[in-house]
Chains A and B, each alone.
Chain A
Amino acid sequence: MSANIVFFAVIMLAFVIVLYARRGHGEGGARDYFVASGQFGGFLLFFLSVGETYSIGSILGFPAATYVQGTPFVLWFLGYIVLAFPLGYFVNPLIWRAGRRVGAMTGVDLFRFHFDSRGLEKLVALNAIICLVPLGEMQFVGLLGVLKAFHWPVSGFVPMAGAAGVTFVWILLSGIRAPAYVSFIKDTLVVVAVLLVGMAALRALGMDGAATQTVAESPVHRPGEGNLLVMSTILFQAAGFCVAPANIAFLFTARSDRIVRRNQIVMPLYMLMFPFLYAVAMFARHGGGAGTVANDVFMTSATTLLPGWAVGLVAAACGLSGLVILAGNCLTLGPLVSHNLLHGLSDRGQRRGAQVVIGGYLLFSVVAADHLTSVMTVLNTLFYMGISQIIPAMIAIVLRKGVGAFPIGAGLVVGDCVSAGLALFGPQPAAVNAGMVGLLWNFAIVGVLEGIRRYQAGEAAMRTAGRK
């Protein structure tokens, strides 16, 4: 009972914060709605950006995958996130400046202005949308896992529909300010929740001498095996993290490039919660999780180790994580359709159009969580493989290099096909990250086609000069 009270109190508090965030920004334009007119300071940008690190997927998924896969998973998962921060220290200010130069509202706007091609703009928007689609469903699956702890006598569809409704109302009320402001209490609660469960797990492990001795042996750890796969995944996904659609959209909310850069310094320290999540996985592995389904490791440990009110707090933290990330994804996806795919809409039309798209996306995600989980899981594994294929184009954009739209588009399509083909039909386990192989093909295609384009342009210029 106390768990329910704490859970609903936190959700209500989040609503009050969303209403507060709306003050003075009720009827702003699309730019204000989606990127807060680029006026966020370091505090809001930090919580908005770092919120991605502790999504519901991380809180539930990290202990679950550590529980099943052990050390190799821990290395690539933590490695790519922490490497993305120093990479972002150098790259993010360049992306921010590229966006400010052209007044970009979405990452795809950079392509429209730099390459002067509507076709490429639509191709990149479609690529991003396909990658973003499964993320919504993943949040709902996570939410469902958390809410199971309450044993409510309703089918899974009801709480998922409720979560979709809450997210939609947040977005309608405050746009991008909703996830930014709620992120503050969400992240505070996540820190408290992870510490609570992690410390309790450590204490439980400490009481059992046998468990303490075997903690380090438990990860599936075979020296040398799969190192190249882990290393290539870290490098590839760290680069992908910097060009992910949500990351770019969040960068555009910042007031200055200095704020963007300064924030990166603190972000790795925020990952110091992961040792506690690791302890939870170890606790589950050594007795605490007897008979536990992997995805339930975190919540089962919480209910085993903590009193009712604390379980409510942990569930609320996880629930808010899911809702905040969901809102962020919605606000990234909406304008990709209403602003980049459908040209010619008025400012008000873009905002309204995005809201319709967001409503449809939420509905689809709820249905997919109920019926299409296996398909979505496959699509989710392709997320970084797809979004990272814009890296050659982003390099051209931030360095202001003149590259043709066709070579960039062809490279993107080939990179996507090679990555997805290798991931789905290639040898398992792979020796190298499939996305990295696709990206190398992508670079090669861009290089060859751009060389041909320049050669042909040079020939044409010489012929013109010869006629004169």
Chain B
Amino acid sequence: MDEQRSPSAEGGGARGRQVVRLAVGLGIPFCVIDLAIPFTTRVDRTVLGAAFPVFWMFLSFVITSACMLATWLLFDRADEAGEEHDAGMAASETRE
């Protein structure tokens, strides 16, 4: 089946892979760090002596690092040239 995939299907697969890569590496950290603020600041509790939003921010250091590590292991480590995945972001980097 794989051998018979059309170029457009392959392009769609690469794009999907890019979306997942960006979602894991940047999307999740962005949600945890920034978008979570209206929710964490509503929590009136303390964790380990810190206000909850502050504790959540400390926790985000570990989550962010884990997300980048996952992105590296799943998508970028095997890419020896280090360019393949960015090519999607840079729209194949062709000068207009």
Contact = CB atoms under 8 A, between A and B. Distances in A.
A167 B81 CA distance: 38
Given A258-B82, A400-B95, A89 B68 contact: yes
Interface residues of B, number: 42
A399 B89 CA distance: 8
A119 interface: no
A259 to B, nearest CB: 9
Contact of A278 (B26, B54, B68): B54
A38 to B, nearest CB: 15
Contacts of A266: 65
A79 B57 contact: yes
Interface in B70-96: 71-72, 76, 82-83, 86, 89-91, 93-96
Interface string A74-101: 1100110011011101100110010000
A269 B62 contact: yes
Interface string A41-82: 000000000000000000000000000000100110011001
24 contacts: A71-B41, A71-B53, A74-B53, A75-B41, A79-B37, A79-B60, A82-B61, A83-B33, A86-B25, A86-B29, A89-B26, A89-B68, A90-B26, A90-B86, A90-B89, A94-B90, A205-B49, A227-B38, A231-B35, A231-B37, A258-B82, A265-B72, A267-B65, A268-B62
B19 interface: no
B22 to A, nearest CB: 7
A75 B94 CA distance: 39
B42 A269 contact: no
Interface residues of A, number: 52
Interface of B: 22, 25-26, 29-30, 33-35, 37-38, 41-42, 44, 46, 49-51, 53-54, 57-58, 60-62, 64-65, 67-69, 71-72, 76, 82-83, 86, 89-91, 93-96
Contacts of A89: 25-26, 68, 71
